[in-house]
Structure 1
């Protein structure tokens, strides 16, 4: 079944992803990520007919792309919060480049171990609120609320310094 699914949908899905990303290498990465998600949800995929499988693959591609765009926007927002007005963005677009690695470590040290883990899983590993909720046995809304409180605490700590 997997070989057939790959043969039938890979090119179509990669073309769809290329239209979304407007970048061939990102499109290929996104397509691979979709098929990895499909493998992780094997029992669900195996219950689908070909039409449902196609719909699931394309919807997953769109959702993963939207997650990437949201993540990039959040990273830009964090960078803007870290930089004083009028400063140019550093060439390396990471929080550690803006604040300094030791400052970032001390900032992260203000979080409880549970909050630090949640923050890193979301913003470093890229898990979304639903996935984190499943891992932690929490509703996604609770995860989002905790993440908001963590971001607010980090921002407040930065503004105090």
Structure 2
């Protein structure tokens, strides 16, 4: 298996297979990150595609810095796409017909309904967290990234990320329990 660094080098040389491998490696993580932030499946898919189009256009200018993973660059592109999307949306309010909800866990409709209700409550209360706490929760749990990678993406120390995560989880626990 090729290393990430080698895949990026090949993609910078316009190697379609390398680009496809990077796309496959990161698509789901970037999609979940965007979907959690904007709450609309179709828009999240469109924005995720745009992230990879931007990656394709600008990968030749990508440079490795201080052992920062390639994914940090992709998440920065995704973050910028989200900011642009939210800025445009705030000027033109729309009604989201399809919000992002988790997939059914089983064929049991009662369990599926319970999961969806819990998720809706989570989305509601997570909106009360600070923007930095929301970002940490999104990157750590939605995108399933390790603390070190989240720290690089957010330009914070791993200790700061751990502290943000701890305070966010504590706040969520308190809000979800109604305390």
The interval holding the TM-score normalised by the smaller chain is 0.3 to 0.5
- State the structure with more CA Rg: 1
What TM-score, normalized to structure 1? 0.42
Q: Which has the higher contact order (CA 8 A, sep 6+)?
A: 2
What TM-score, normalized to structure 2? 0.38
Could you say which structure has the higher helix fraction?
1
